Amino acid sequence: MAVKLVASISGFLFIALAVMFGEAFSPDASNDLMTVGSICGFVGGTAFVLGAVFGRTGLIAASISGCIALVVVSLPLQLYYATTASLGKYAAVLLLLFALVNTAIFLGMRLRKTESS
């Protein structure tokens, strides 16, 4: 129970921080592709580490809280760029990040399981 709680809190905080660092680290903030690539790099690495640290026990808790963090962090951006064209981009990037978080956490969990065997 305690591991799931810590994984949930860590997933929320660290994924949100990874999005912020990725956005700040982007070399060209006006280029959408470079910004998304930078955010994906930070989020993927963070989710992989979360999967490796918490393993199978915290897999679902970290995944769900990480995806909630992505929505919470991206809401101000979505409200700021609320046009029809940008909502499609917003949804596509959010789905890409959801898939990336879940895949990276799963791969980290598999690495931990392989190393412990």
Predicted model pTM? 0.86
What does the pLDDT read at residue 74? 80
Q: How confident is the model at residue 81 (pLDDT cuts 50, 70, 90)?
A: low
Per the structure block, which two tokens stand in for 101?
A: 């978080």
Q: How confident is the model at residue 75 (pLDDT cuts 50, 70, 90)?
A: confident
- Note the helical H segments in 55-83: 59-80
The answer to whether the beta carbons of residues 59 and 71 sit under 8 Å apart is no
The answer to whether the beta carbons of residues 10 and 50 sit under 8 Å apart is yes
* Mean pLDDT for the stretch of residues 62-74: 89
Q: From the centroid of its chain, how far is CA 35?
A: 14
Rg (CA), the chain: 15
Per the structure block, which two tokens stand in for 75?
A: 């809401």
